Amino acid sequence: MRGIATVNNMTGMPNVLDRFDLTGRVAVVTGASSGLGAAFAVGLGQAGADLVLGARRAEKLAETRDAISDLGRKAIAVTTDVSSPTDCQALVDAAMAEFGKVDILVNNAGVSSAAPATRETPEAFERVIGINLNGSYWMAQACGRVMRPGSTIVNVSSVLALTTAGLPQAAYSASKAGVLGLTRDLAQQWAGRKGIRVNALAPGFFPSEMTDEYLPGYLESQLGRVPMGRAGEVEELTAALVFLASDASSYVNGQTLVVDGGLTIA
């Protein structure tokens, strides 16, 4: 009887789907010119957010901006190299000038390399770290200065922070593991003091511009490691991102949401 009474007392609770609604929120997405970043931006727009888009390729970035506009949402595009703290600050300044606030940051910008560890040059290694890890920090730092309580940061890591890929990926794996450490520390620093939640998204194998650069057949060769037996669909990953970016995850902080079809448990 106690369980029935509890359920009856909750019949007047708000609709849980409302917690996924991002209407009135402003989201900054880096690496938004194509691939997962563009899909993330569109997904956030579908959920109601206005967008501030950053990437290095201005022409492709404009295409994402136009796709957001087609949804009836506002969007601006700012050419940005996240390895530059100055560029990161300029992106946030543009967001504040246009919208007066930043509610969501999606640190998605990233590059990969596949050089054997004995032959990878310092310049190549530092480029990956500079964009994937340092860039996430510069963007979080710039947004953290202006974000209000209730804001959220989603750092896009990778399952390669947790397992191997069958390719030489030392720089990429190190950078993405670093993103997880960064996520935990910022979550601890900012949740109580600033009211900003920080979480990480760790995708498994998803078709993307980055995976297109791998050897032909590579992605298919790895699917035997995935208990679900297939690559993920972009919409599945975008839905997980919207969860972390929205009030649906309002008591989730400092966590890594792995979306990999079970790869890391196999």
pLDDT tens by residue, 7-50: 556 667 889 999 999 999 999 999 999 999 999 999 999 999 99
| pTM over the 0.75 mark | yes
251 has catalytic annotation: no
Q: Which residues of 171-184 are buried (b: 16+ CB within 10 A; e: fewer)?
A: bbbbbbbbbbebbb
Looking at 172, 214, 218, 251, which residue is catalytic?
A: 172
Q: What is the mean pLDDT of residues 217-236?
A: 89
Q: How confident is the model at residue 215 (pLDDT cuts 50, 70, 90)?
A: low
Rg (CA), the chain: 19
**Count of alpha carbons within 13 angstroms of residue 30, beta-carbon side:** 33
Between the two ends of the chain, the Cα-to-Cα distance in Å is: 42
Ordered by where they begin, the domains of the chain are 22-265 (3.40.50.720)
Instruction: Identify the CA nearest to 110 among candidates 134, 85, 140, 143.
Output: 134
Q: What is the pLDDT of residue 165?
A: 80
Average pLDDT, the chain: 93
